[in-house]
Structure 1
Amino acid sequence: MKLWGPKNWGHFSVLLRTVAIAIAAAAAVLGSAGTASAQPVTDQSLLAKVVVIGVPGLTWNDVKASPELTALVNQSHVGSITVKTAGPHTCPVDGWLTVSAGTRAWGSVADQPCGDLPAVTDGKIAGWQTYVDRQAEHHTGAPIGRLGQTGYPICGFGPGAAVALARTDGSVTNWQPEFDAARLASPDCGDAVVDAGALPLREGREEARKRVADLVAQARAADGWVLLVGVSQETANAHQEPLVAMQLPPDTGPRWLTSDSTRRPGLIQLTDVTATILKERDVAEVDPAGAAKAGPLDGNEIHYTGDVHTDADAVIENRLDTNERFEQPRPMLVAVSMTILAAELIALAWFVITRSPRSRRTFVFTLLTQGGFFIAVFLSTATVWWRWPAPGISLYCVVLGISAVFAAVAQLALKRYAFLGIAVAAYVILLVDGVLGTPLQFGSMFTDGPVIGGRFYGFGNSTFATLAVAALVTAGWAAQRLIDKSRKQAALAVLAIGGAAIVVDGRPGWGTDFGGIIALTPAVLLMAWLTWRGSISWRALLGVGVAGVLAVSAVAFLDYLRPEDERSHFGTFVARLLDGDVSDVLIRKLEMAVQFFDGPSGWAMLVGVVLAMLATVLPDRVPSPAYQAFYTSLPMVRPTLLALSTCGLVGMLLNDAGVALPAIMAGFAVPLLVARLVASEQPATVSPESHLVQES
């Protein structure tokens, strides 16, 4: 790399001032972001008694099969609840410990069936220290005992309630092993937590559902409001799905439950139950020595939103359709990916054997189809496929169809520049989706979703990887059109296009992606510098890194300055950092990053990613004359490829997705690059007048 002398720092300061202005503008937008609050969950006059009834395994199929539970639908705010906890399974003990802590806890033993809930012996949970140690062992950071430590008189009924209401030392007070309606109605019982027991898997389930409905009726007779929720799956290997959530009575007519932790109508988290009890009662004021020192909650107060619903059957079908929306994407992702890969291999074999124009076009088409797939996963959500017959097959066909349509249109309209059309389309679609609150990403193949407790709002790792590739390729194309006229204007174009992606990706309420802006910001700054100056010194490279760190830090700190219940995970991370409570978070993220290397697939991804990155740095070592000629064909090829590698490398090192993030980037970028090379009969000779960046 070229080393620069002092006289060059005047140029560097100009770019830094430009970057500083862009960062300040982005930070202002990010800092002012807020989430519109829904209505409070209930009128204060109804808070004489709050009764949480937890039922492990209560599904919407149970509601459909039970006339008693169906009758409650039009008397309730309703929704689904995700019961993902810190461990691989959500057994009843995991769910109740999570209610206790207000953050995801780990109670069961991995690779073992769900055991019985612990007994209460001499006023204390048997084996409580084992659960405390388990949180430390798995670095959950869950302060089990938080709810019981508040000092507010909360009554408990049943073994699960004992776990939820135990103090930090495992002691239990104001608790009974069986439900007692008279005790619940007494003045000594403030709020209450009731364990209705796990529903039997087969025989006796109908009777158990009737008992649940009867418990709700008795709790409502205690002059308060009732929150009926599923708190866990029945067994460790149970079919994972969002469970039932109902809040009665619906003080403004039956609507959809939601919370700021999900920002989705009809969906709450298990941790929201704890947050609702604590925040409605302002319990931290009651016992500052207990609840206030336990750290931030994972959940938020439950709200209601949306229009009034009056058709119980329609509501139940809506919930069952929503379950399909959350359950089908992951298995169909594998099916679609394998189909496209098989088509690519067949087309490649045909092309290698015949070298005919038709085989060339077919091979390029399959490569472009893989690029189109990174658009189809989002646009498929707009088709509402989960309401179609055979939702899984419908999703499979919809995604393949949209992928092929994008590939065909791009190939016919743009010829060898088809890759560019797909990248620009992905960039525009994801920017719009981010500004609208990511409705296309939610429930798509690229979000883990509520079934396994992934992102409920904002951009996930796969979405960010798609946006990063699309943004950098689009920025490279725009800069190529301007670079002959002015390198400075070309660099500003990179900052504008890349900066828009950074703002949308990072703004709370839009992309809300802390890890994403950490990776994308230095990549955009590096690309802008290389566009402006053509080369970079070590000191300038250090300056780019510092500018990136300052930008990300500014965003996180501004989010931290917002009220606690309005912060995204940017501000929450800063709060934990200032409280000295960030080590468990960092360790968990590191464990998530390295878990990919438990099997050969992770190592294979690493080898592929490293080879792809080396190709951007050492093009002369790539055994492909077409690629070598392409690398030097236009000024913006090298900066864009280096920016892609930088984004992937930083993301791999600092993101909990680890090697998966650059692997996903490569899955989008490499087929587009190969399609570009194969589509051109003479990839070494490209007309500069085309002003189209040849990019991966």
Structure 2
Amino acid sequence: MLRRVAPLLLTLLVAVLGVTALAAEPDRAARRPTADFVVIAGVPGLRWDDVDPETTPTLWRMAENGSIGSLSVRSARRPTCPVDGWLTLGAGNFAAWNTNRPAGTCPAVDVKVEQPDGFGANLPQQESVVLHNQERLPWGAVPGALAESVRCAVAVGPGAAVAAARPFGRVDRYEPTLPADPAPLLGSCVLSIVDLGTVSGEHQAARDAAARRADATLAKVLAARPPGSLVLVAGVSDTAAPARLHVAVADGPGWERGWLTSASTGRDGYLQLADLAPTALTVLGRPLPERNFTGRAATPVDGRPADLRAAIDAPTDADREAGAQQRVARWFFVLLAGFQVLLAVAVLPLLRRARRHAGPVGPTPVPRSVVATVEVLLVAAALAIPSALVADLVPWWRGGHAGWYFAVVTALLLAGATALVRFAPGHDRTLGPLGAVAGLTTLVVGVDVLTGARLQLNGVVGYSALEGGRYAGLGTVGLGAFLAGVLLTAGWLAQRVGRRWRPTVVVAVGTAAVVVVGSPYLGADSVGAIALTAGVTVAAVICTGGWLTLSRLVWASMAGLAVTIGLGVLDLRRPPTDRGSLGRFLAALGEGRAGLTVHRSSTANFDTLVGSPLTVLAVVGAVLVWFALFQPWGGLLRLFGIYPAMRAAMAGTAVAAVIGGLLGGSALDVAGAAGALVVPMAALAALRVLDHATDRTQPPGNRPQDFVGGAPVGAEATGPGDAARTGPEEPAGDAGDRAPRTSTEVATA
């Protein structure tokens, strides 16, 4: 009876523990200041390296007194050109102007602004732009949603007119340039949007001149600002590819000397362009059009250095790192995929010749030096991702040859990690390298997440603030590596204890990992927590033996579903502005708007599937496992038979990686990152069990001298998986779980 209800008990245990641990919500105690007026001053192209006391003295003083941050100017199109940035600002959502342009360029766009009455203005293209965003783009943006949420809005300049126009094209009050005395204009409406000009080009002299002109106009705005007002200065767009991080400054009562952040980023010092519209409405006390906005209101938080230069150096360095990350990340994964493909090809002949011949005559075995070299390469391949993650401890992006610096740092770390595994105690055991690599990967990724995921942000194997998909917590590659490391570590530990305790070990390790992945304090990835829950349940129910049957898969799915429902209920109970992605999706589902989310996810899955090098890693790993390791000569089936806990761990990894990738919109990227660890370690362990497939030595408890009266002597003292074998490696068997076998049976196994 206990065996029958074990899957149910494990399912309930994982689900209850996981949801209970994830129920807590971060207590940031964020300030939410209010104001009577809001003035948004936009400067397309303005970056933090353009700001200094001599070139931009007004902005410098404003940043010294207010709160600052790095602004990600993501829109519905990349790069975000000025007109797309202004449109996204006014929509509070990822929007784009309906014009064709060559990929990666920002041509000049002539926005037609009509002034039929000399008081307001009209954008004749606005209605077609709204239809384009509603029908052709997957974000459901409504250009003009910000202006539609206030009684009246002021626009100064053509870019500001794009942001302040209502959905039907009307701008309440408009001036092409800032008047000599702007105070009456800025005080006529609660919301004013001012175009300070564009800072473009890469020649520093030209950028400095444009920044000075923008700063002079900003000085007039600050001198005429209404009392009790909040002034936001934002570099609202890029001006050319590649994308960059831009300036964000907030100055007003309650915004003194802090970092800017929002619920959409979850990272101090980072803000999205789409956050500016909800920030303005929240400060003014206006209700937010939740159906139209993807951004969240910005808030100031403490912790900024007292010295402004030291504070500005942080976003400047982040912009430099994010730019270098985009250049380096792709070739890193291309090289990693290529290396693992070549390694897979090299392993094939070794697998076919790894089994020692039992007779007096047989093929010449592969030299031990060759096997040892391939084993070291397999360990290095599995440690590539955690080594690249740790490389961000060194500021490699600050040099003139960032890619080469990163390569050198990563190579040195990889060599050190490989040596650590090679000379670690127990390396000669069959599962020694696998356990060491899995534990090291879990430790590296876990410590990073527990300390704020600083290595994930803008890291080569992390996520980029320029992409705008994630700013805090655990990224796609980190999730793949972490869930593989956790499940393999759990399987390795479970294999070292008695059979009855194996599910307990897997559940204990897995539940702790679910908390790390899904907690809003830590990994902040509810989808990853759901996927890992399913993987842990799969591993727990088959770690004592048996295969992944349909009923066991159903129990795993039920565990994931239980965690999904629990997290969804908790998320829906939070205020709409504080909900996570799961809560927002369920709310949209209830309102009949979930189609856009499904469309975005399917589009993201397809784009990632066809454009990511990690897809190659996932496909090559699956091919190697199915057509080589799973063959009679491949050794994986023998490994699974001897070490059932490792079979459970790898099955759970496959389930979790596929679920996490598909639900998270990253296709096979999670599986590719997991496969980069699992496949090399599976090949190495298969080589070792094949090398000892013809061992004749009986495990302790199975030899004749170990039997007294038909019962084995010391059977309880010999743990499963620890039977003796010839040679320096650990035994291939579970002594307490198998009947004695003849030498013929051992040889044919």
TM-score, length basis structure 2: 0.81
Name the CA distance, whole Å, in 1 between partners of 2:691 and 2:193.
72
Does the CA contact (< 8 Å) of 1:619 and 1:631 recur in 2? Answer: no
Does the CA contact (< 8 Å) of 1:447 and 1:460 recur in 2? Answer: yes
| 1:213 equivalenced with 2:215 (yes/no) | yes
Does the CA contact (< 8 Å) of 2:643 and 2:721 recur in 1? Answer: no
Question: Counterpart of 1:450?
Answer: 465
Closer, same or farther: CA 407–628 of 1 in aligned 2, 3 Å: same
| 1:111 equivalenced with 2:102 (yes/no) | yes
Does the CA contact (< 8 Å) of 2:235 and 2:246 recur in 1? Answer: yes
Does the CA contact (< 8 Å) of 2:261 and 2:301 recur in 1? Answer: yes
Comparing 317-326 and 447-456, the one that deviates more: 317-326
Q: Deviations over 1:54-110 (max 9, x none)?
A: 111112232249522474343442222110112232011211121112121232546
Specify the code of the residue in structure 1 equivalent to 2:528. Answer: G
| 1:672 equivalenced with 2:681 (yes/no) | yes
Match of 2:579 among 543, 567, 587: 567
1:639-678 aligned within 5 A: 639-678=648-687
Q: Give unpaired runs (5+ residues) of structure 1.
A: 1-7, 285-290
1:416-565 aligned within 5 A: 416=428, 417-484=432-499, 486=500, 489-532=501-544, 534-535=546-547, 537-565=549-577
Does the CA contact (< 8 Å) of 1:471 and 1:497 recur in 2? Answer: yes
Question: Counterpart of 2:50?
Answer: 62
Does the CA contact (< 8 Å) of 2:484 and 2:674 recur in 1? Answer: yes
Does the CA contact (< 8 Å) of 2:614 and 2:672 recur in 1? Answer: no
Question: Counterpart of 1:127?
Answer: 125
Does the CA contact (< 8 Å) of 1:410 and 1:419 recur in 2? Answer: no
Specify the code of the residue in structure 2 equivalent to 1:269. Answer: Q
Instruction: Quote the offset at 1:23 in angstroms.
Output: 1.8
Identity of aligned residues (%): 24
Does the CA contact (< 8 Å) of 2:392 and 2:459 recur in 1? Answer: yes
Instruction: Quote the offset at 1:470 in angstroms.
Output: 0.6
Closer, same or farther: CA 612–361 of 1 in aligned 2, 3 Å: closer
Name the CA distance, whole Å, in 2 between partners of 1:211 and 1:66.
13
Match of 2:84 among 88, 91, 94: 94
Name the CA distance, whole Å, in 2 between partners of 1:602 and 1:383.
25
Q: Deviations over 1:347-382 (max 9, x none)?
A: 986997994433333322222122222212332233
Specify the code of the residue in structure 2 equivalent to 1:207. Answer: A
Closer, same or farther: CA 333–668 of 1 in aligned 2, 3 Å: farther
Specify the code of the residue in structure 2 equivalent to 1:61. Answer: D
Comparing 91-100 and 171-180, the one that deviates more: 171-180
Q: Deviations over 1:1-20 (max 9, x none)?
A: xxxxxxx6x64444323432
| 1:22 equivalenced with 2:22 (yes/no) | no
Instruction: Quote the offset at 1:393 in angstroms.
Output: 3.4
Question: Counterpart of 2:356?
Answer: none
1:220-239 aligned within 5 A: 220-221=222-223, 222=225, 223=227, 224-235=229-240, 238-239=241-242
Specify the code of the residue in structure 2 equivalent to 1:100. Answer: G
Does the CA contact (< 8 Å) of 1:80 and 1:267 recur in 2? Answer: yes
Instruction: Quote the offset at 1:493 in angstroms.
Output: 1.5
Does the CA contact (< 8 Å) of 1:77 and 1:248 recur in 2? Answer: yes
Give the secondary structure class of the aligned counterpart of 1:415. coil
Say how many residue pairs are matched: 668
Give the secondary structure class of the aligned counterpart of 2:644. coil
| 1:408 equivalenced with 2:419 (yes/no) | yes
Q: Deviations over 1:454-474 (max 9, x none)?
A: 310121211111111111101
Match of 1:258 among 241, 257, 261: 261
Does the CA contact (< 8 Å) of 1:508 and 1:568 recur in 2? Answer: no
Closer, same or farther: CA 643–587 of 1 in aligned 2, 3 Å: same
Whichever structure has more helix as a proportion of its residues is 1
Name the CA distance, whole Å, in 1 between partners of 2:468 and 2:157.
27
Closer, same or farther: CA 372–200 of 1 in aligned 2, 3 Å: closer
Question: Counterpart of 2:197?
Answer: 197
Name the CA distance, whole Å, in 2 between partners of 1:272 and 1:453.
12
Give the secondary structure class of the aligned counterpart of 2:181. helix
Name the CA distance, whole Å, in 1 between partners of 2:639 and 2:101.
51
Does the CA contact (< 8 Å) of 1:343 and 1:366 recur in 2? Answer: no
Name the CA distance, whole Å, in 2 between partners of 1:350 and 1:141.
50
Question: Counterpart of 2:160?
Answer: 161
Name the CA distance, whole Å, in 2 between partners of 1:693 and 1:575.
54
Does the CA contact (< 8 Å) of 2:609 and 2:668 recur in 1? Answer: no
Q: Deviations over 1:156-179 (max 9, x none)?
A: 111121111222222221222222
Comparing 320-329 and 465-474, the one that deviates more: 320-329
Question: Counterpart of 2:26?
Answer: 34
Does the CA contact (< 8 Å) of 1:633 and 1:685 recur in 2? Answer: no
Question: Counterpart of 2:321?
Answer: 325
Closer, same or farther: CA 612–225 of 1 in aligned 2, 3 Å: same
Does the CA contact (< 8 Å) of 2:434 and 2:681 recur in 1? Answer: yes
Question: Counterpart of 1:5?
Answer: none
Question: Counterpart of 1:240?
Answer: 243
Give the secondary structure class of the aligned counterpart of 2:520. coil
Closer, same or farther: CA 516–613 of 1 in aligned 2, 3 Å: farther
Give the secondary structure class of the aligned counterpart of 1:292. coil
Give the secondary structure class of the aligned counterpart of 1:393. helix
Specify the code of the residue in structure 1 equivalent to 2:237. Answer: S
Question: Counterpart of 1:287?
Answer: none
Q: Deviations over 1:442-488 (max 9, x none)?
A: 2221223111213101212111111111111011112212243x1xx
Instruction: Quote the offset at 1:130 in angstroms.
Output: 2.6
Q: Deviations over 1:385-412 (max 9, x none)?
A: 4457755433322222212211111011
CA RMSD, aligned part only?
3.3
Closer, same or farther: CA 271–657 of 1 in aligned 2, 3 Å: same
Match of 2:382 among 371, 396, 401: 371
Give the secondary structure class of the aligned counterpart of 1:147. helix
Does the CA contact (< 8 Å) of 1:55 and 1:197 recur in 2? Answer: yes
Name the CA distance, whole Å, in 2 between partners of 1:55 and 1:430.
38
Instruction: Quote the offset at 1:139 in angstroms.
Output: 1.3
Give the secondary structure class of the aligned counterpart of 2:383. helix
Does the CA contact (< 8 Å) of 1:373 and 1:402 recur in 2? Answer: no
Name the CA distance, whole Å, in 2 between partners of 1:536 and 1:356.
37
Q: Give unpaired runs (5+ residues) of structure 2.
A: 351-364, 700-719, 724-729, 733-749
Match of 2:37 among 42, 46, 49: 49
Specify the code of the residue in structure 1 equivalent to 2:69. Answer: G
Question: Counterpart of 1:359?
Answer: 370
Specify the code of the residue in structure 1 equivalent to 2:43. Answer: V
Closer, same or farther: CA 633–539 of 1 in aligned 2, 3 Å: closer
Q: Deviations over 1:608-649 (max 9, x none)?
A: 35435646xx965x2634334323222223222222222233
Specify the code of the residue in structure 1 equivalent to 2:650. Answer: L
Name the CA distance, whole Å, in 2 between partners of 1:600 and 1:67.
42
Question: Counterpart of 1:83?
Answer: 73
